[in-house]
Chain A
Amino acid sequence: MTETPAVAKPAESGKKFNIDTVENAARTPDTELPWAELGLKQNEFDEVVKVLGRRPTGAELAMYSVMWSEHCSYKSSKNHLRQFGEKVTEEMKKDMLVGIGENAGVTNLGDGWAVTFKIESHNSPSFVEPYQGAATGIGGIVRDIISMGARPVAVMDPLRFGAIDHPDTARVMHGAVAGIGGYGNSLGLPNIGGEMVFDSVYQGNPLVNALAVGVMRHEDIRLANASGKGNKVVLFGARTGGDGIGGASVLASESFDDTKPSKRPAVQVGDPFAEKVLIECCLELFKGSLVEGIQDLGAAGISCATSELASNGDGGMQVELTSVLLRDPTLTPGEILMSESQERMMAVVTPENVEAFEAVMDKWAVEYSWLGEVTDTGRLIITWDGEVIVDVDPRTVAHDGPVYDRPYARPEWQDSVQADAFTGSVQDAGRPAAPSELAAAVTELVASPNMCSKAWITNQYDRYVGGNTAMAFPDDAGVVRVDEETGLGVALATDANGRYTYLDPYQGAQLALAEAYRNVATSGAIPMAVSDCLNFGSPEDPDVMWQLAEAIRGLSDACMELGIPVTGGNVSLYNQTGTTPIHPSPVVAVLGKLDDVARRTPSGWREDGQAIYLLGTTGSELDGSEWANMRGHLGGRPPKVDLAAERELGQILINASRDGMVDSAHDVSEGGLAAALVESSLRYGVGARISLQDVMDRDGVDLFTALFSESQARAVVAVPRSEEIRFKDMCTARGFAHVRIGVVDAEGGTLEINGVDTLSLDALREAHEGTLPKYFG
Chain B
Amino acid sequence: MTEQPLIGEAVAIAAEPRLAGARIGVVTFPGTLDDRDAARAVRLAGATPVALWHADTTLADVDAVVIPGGFSYGDYLRAGAIARFAPLMSKIIDAANSEARLPVLGICNGFQILTESHLLPGSMIKNDHLKFLCRDQVLRVENTATAWTGDYTAGQEITVPLKNQDGQYIADEKTLDALEAENRVVFRYVGWNPNGSRRDIAGITNEAGNVVGLMPHPEHAIEAGFGPENGSGTEGLGFFTSVLNKIVGDNK
Contacts and interface: CB of A to CB of B under 8 A. Distances in A.
A365 interface: yes
Contacts of A273: 30-31, 71, 73-76
B2 interface: yes
B181 interface: no
B184 interface: no
B134 A463 contact: yes
A76 interface: no
B34 A151 contact: no
Contacts of A151: 6-8
A461 interface: yes
B217 interface: yes
Interface string A289-318: 100000000000000000000000000000
A466 B36 contact: yes
Contact of A462 (B30, B75, B134, B222): B134
B1 A288 contact: yes
Given A485-B11, A598-B225, A464 B220 contact: yes
A283 interface: yes
Given A271-B74, A276-B33, A466 B8 contact: yes
Contacts of A478: none
B132 interface: yes
A420 interface: no
Contacts of B40: 467, 484
Contact of A219 (B2, B132, B219, B229): B2
A460 interface: yes
A468 B226 contact: yes
Given A273-B30, A277-B30, A289 B131 contact: no
A272 B7 contact: no
A278 B76 CA distance: 17
A216 B7 contact: yes
**Count class of interface residues, chain B:** 35 or more
Contacts of B73: 273
A188 B33 contact: yes
A436 interface: no
B163 interface: yes
B40 to A, nearest CB: 6
A272 B71 contact: yes
A151 to B, nearest CB: 4
A112 B3 CA distance: 11
Nearest to A487: B225
A470 B8 contact: no
Nearest to B34: A465
A261 B174 CA distance: 53
B34 A217 contact: no
Contacts of B134: 458-464
A153 interface: yes
Contacts of B98: none
Given A289-B1, A468-B226, A186 B7 contact: no
B71 A186 contact: yes
Contacts of B30: 273, 276-277, 280, 364-365
Given A151-B6, A273-B31, A364-B30, A460 B71 contact: no
A484 B11 contact: yes
B33 A460 contact: no
A289 B2 contact: yes
Interface string B45-73: 00000000001000000000000001101
A1 to B, nearest CB: 8
Nearest to B12: A485
Contacts of A463: 134
Contacts of B220: 464-465, 467
A287 B2 contact: yes
Contacts of B227: 464
A270 to B, nearest CB: 11
B157 interface: no
Nearest to B162: A464
B161 interface: yes
Given A459-B135, A467-B36, A468-B226, A272 B74 contact: yes
Closest 7 CB pairs of A and B: A273-B74, A188-B33, A467-B37, A151-B7, A484-B11, A464-B220, A217-B4
Given A276-B31, A289-B2, 20 more contacts: A1-B55, A151-B7, A186-B31, A187-B33, A188-B34, A273-B75, A277-B30, A283-B7, A286-B6, A289-B1, A459-B135, A460-B134, A464-B220, A465-B220, A466-B8, A466-B36, A468-B226, A482-B7, A598-B225, A684-B229
Interface of A: 1, 112, 150-151, 153, 178, 181-182, 185-188, 215-217, 219-220, 271-274, 276-277, 280, 283, 286-289, 364-365, 458-470, 481-482, 484-485, 597-598, 684
13 contacts: A178-B132, A185-B165, A186-B74, A217-B4, A220-B2, A287-B6, A289-B1, A463-B134, A466-B8, A466-B36, A467-B222, A469-B226, A482-B7
